[in-house]
Structure 1
Amino acid sequence: MKKLSYLTFIMAVMLLLAACGNNQAAQSTAASEKDSKPAETEETVTVKHQYGEVTVTKNPQKAVVFDFGVLDTLDVLGADVAGVPQLVVPQYLQKYAASEYTNVGSLKEPDFEAIHALKPDVIYISARQAELYKQFEEIAPTILVETDYADYLGSLEKNVEMLGKIYGKEDIAEKALNDLKAKASELSEKTGSSDSKALILLANEGKVSAYGAGSRYGFIHDVFGFKQSDENIEVSQHGQSITFEYILERNPDVMFVIDRSAAIGGEAGAQQTVENDLVKKTSAFENGKIVYLDGGIWYLSGGGLQSVNLMMEEVEKAL
């Protein structure tokens, strides 16, 4: 009996060990099969721009934004922003100057150490930072957001649709664009019925430059419909250098003036520069039609859903 009990015990132990071995083998096989399955990948969006194609994670949570037009559009879309160049921030975007957002330097001098520490999912830059593209690209996927001054509304629409796609906010983007285009069309109809001719000036430290159709601020003519006091202003990014005698000679009915110094944090001086004895002889001055535009919106920003709407409101003052 004792011998039989001993044999029974040995057999039970062997069966138990075999069962454990089979269970471990099954677990090992299951784990191996799990490891062999492809990991679930995050949804991505591929964007084309001047430097090629960039693939970004859809709805990125940590964005560094060096273009204030993009920033104001992201604000409309309700998208997350992590880092902003806070040296000079337009007044209408002042909430992004708060400490809850990382300061990543200035528009012309990015703080790459701060950007790297932030570990962003995506970086948006404009022409101001284009020459530093490779340095940004080493940190995170970087998108150069471009503005075509010869097709201002077209490039705005393209950029807003791109951002809507990246953040899965296509419906919000489409509605905002439709509202903006309707407003621009309404403004153009008003200006089209007027014979008033306009001149666009950038004032900077006592000097003035003029902008015509197709230029940086030429959408006042091209999109908003104001006629030009001079059809031959050269198309340029920085404007055509002019004299005050030129302004009197062209005698515009309306003048739009952007104060660059004030926009970048200096003292406002455009009015003192522009309203001299020669300019006071123009129709624009005599009729109270010199409109001083917000430099934060026009010089620092532009090309966004909010900024373009604000631009239209300022331009409409001339009517």
Structure 2
Amino acid sequence: MKKIFILVTILFITVSLASCNFEDEKEFDIENPTRVAFLTLDILDILSDVGFEKTNIKEMGMLFKGEVDYLEEFNNDNVIDLGTHRALNYDEIDKLDPELIILGNRTRSFKVELEEKYPKAIIYDATHDISIGGLINTLDKNVEFLSSVFPNIKSDLENKFNTIKNDINELKGQNIDVSTLVIVLSGQEPRTNGKDSRYGILYKDFGFKVASEEYNSSDSHGQIISYEAILEINPIVIFVMDRSSTVGENEALDFDSFLNNTFVKETDAFANSNVFLLNGDAWYMTSGGFISARAMIKDVETFLVK
């Protein structure tokens, strides 16, 4: 009886492992798809940068159509609007009948539902926790995926990635280990985001120093901070991500209002012109792409070349 139990257990484990391997391979078991649903923008950012026309894609749909300036080439009648991360447009996905559906951080929760609706499609979850792995690691994984799906652009992908990686490492080597606070403007109150947040790229990849362990939140929405606390921390550098303006929130706190606050004006960062506005599209909408990575590099360079 004991031998039978052991044998059944081994068979169960073997089948389970085989199933897991099949799922892992299935995600990459496609080359040069012609119909693709982009439910994350970082992958589309990369393809746009290397030359979308080099792929074999004939029909495509995307989230947030027309909302990111540097993806303007896709704001035309040939590209299907698939809605937003809060409300996918399934009618349009049905019309597209995609061979490949690419998910990201904001859409990974739809995976099971999409698998049920589109059983013939390959569904790839391109979610890479940028708050943990950092920017370079995320780009590396995106390049690996795209190289397997579009092998004809592999060298282009790798060359551009290596250039970006070298540029980031070069900046990190320029002694920018200075006290830095990342502020996100969302709603009516400023929030801080720490080393293990989506804006932790500034600390992990570029080498800035966390200004306050008390205000070092990893929460995706950040940690509310008072203006008095900002002055008390008194960082050397303040990077501001104006989420409100990026997503079109009306009557919300914006960058100019933040700069005009009495307590902010008393900080060393303000006195030395070290309060910088980050590129909202790059840091909030498409982080993990090539175009966005270069925009991030440019944002960091504003501090170095000031």
Identify whether the pair has TM-score above 0.5, normalized to the shorter chain: yes
- What is residue 144 of structure 2 aligned with on the other side? 161
Give 4+ residue runs of structure 1 displaced > 4 Å after superposition: none
Partner residue of 2:122? 141
C-alpha separation between the residues in 2 aligned to 1:288 and 1:195? Answer: 17
Amino acid at match of 1:303: G
Question: Among 30, 34, 37, which residue is 1:57 paired with?
Answer: 30
2:106 is paired with a residue whose SS is: helix
1:97 aligns to what?
A: 75
Q: How far apart are residue 195 of structure 1 and its match?
A: 5.3
Tell me the alpha carbon deviations over residues 94-153 of structure 1, each in whole angstroms, 9 at most, x when there is no partner: 111211211111232110110111111101111211221122222222111112222112
Contact kept? 1:88, 1:265, Cα under 8 Å = no
2:26, 2:122 within 8 Å by CA — same for their partners in 1?
no
Give, in angstroms, the shift of residue 269 of structure 1.
Answer: 4.1
**Mapping of 1:120-269 within 5 angstroms?**
120-137=98-115, 138-139=117-118, 140-148=121-129, 149-152=131-134, 153-168=136-151, 169-190=153-174, 192=175, 194=176, 196-232=178-214, 233-267=216-250, 269=253
Offset of 1:71 from its aligned partner? 0.7
Aligned length in residues? 269
| 1:63/1:120 contact within 8 Å kept | yes
Separation (CA, whole Å) in 2 of partners of 1:180 and 1:198: 23
Partner of 1:292: 277
The residue identity in structure 2 corresponding to 1:142 is: I
Shift of 1:56: 4.1
SS at the partner of 1:135?
A: helix
The structure number with the bigger radius of gyration is 1
Deviation at 1:89, TM superposition (A): 2.1
Per-residue CA deviation, residues 56-101 of structure 1 (Å, 9 max, x unaligned), is 4201111111211111112234333611124552111111121121
Partner of 1:274: 258
Worse-matched range after superposition: 136-145 or 262-271: 262-271
TM-score by length of 2: 0.82
Q: Distance in 2 between matches of 1:195 and 1:171?
A: 34
Instruction: Assess if the C-alpha contact under 8 Å between 1:86 and 1:105 holds in 2.
Output: yes
* Structure-2 separation of matches of 1:223 and 1:142: 30
- Cα distance, 1:237 vs structure 2: 2.0
Question: Taking structure 1 as reference, are residues 84 and 265 closer, same or farther at Cα in structure 2, changes over 3 Å only?
Answer: same
Which consecutive residues of structure 1, in runs of 5 or more, have no partner in the other structure?
A: 1-45
- Per-residue deviation, residues 146-182 of structure 1 (Å, max 9, x unmatched): 1222211212201211111111122112111111110
1:261-297 C-alpha deviation (Å, 9 max, x unpaired): 1111235742244221111100111111111112122
Aligned-residue Cα RMSD (Å) equals 2.0
Q: Is the 8 A contact 1:257 1:270 kept in 2?
A: no
**For each residue in 1:238-266, what CA deviation from the matched residue of structure 2 results, as whole angstroms up to 9, or x when unmatched?**
22221111111110111111111111123
The CA distance in 2 between the partners of 1:56 and 1:181, in whole Å, is 28
Q: Which amino acid aligns with 2:163?
A: D
**Cα contact 2:65–2:74 (8 A) shared by 1:** no
1:183–1:116 Cα change, 3 Å: same
* 2:187 counterpart letter in structure 1: E
User: Could you tell me how far apart the structure 2 residues matched to 1:55 and 1:173 are?
Assistant: 17
Q: 1:294 to 1:252 in 2, by over 3 A?
A: same
Greater shift, 52-61 or 160-169, is seen at 52-61
SS in structure 2 of the partner of residue 255 of structure 1: strand
In the alignment, is the contact (CA less than 8 A) between 1:63 and 1:123 conserved in 2? yes
Deviates more, 1:145-154 or 1:299-308: 145-154
Q: One-letter code of the match for 2:166?
A: A
Identity among equivalent pairs (%): 28
Q: Distance in 1 between matches of 2:283 and 2:257?
A: 19
For the structure 1 residues 98 and 245, does the alpha-carbon distance in structure 2 shift closer, same or farther, using more than 3 Å as the test?
same
Judging changes above 3 Å, is the alpha-carbon distance between structure 1 residues 288 and 144 closer, same or farther for their aligned structure 2 residues?
same
Aligned counterparts of 1:297 and 1:195: Cα–Cα separation in 2: 23
- Structure 2's unaligned 5+ residue stretches are 1-21
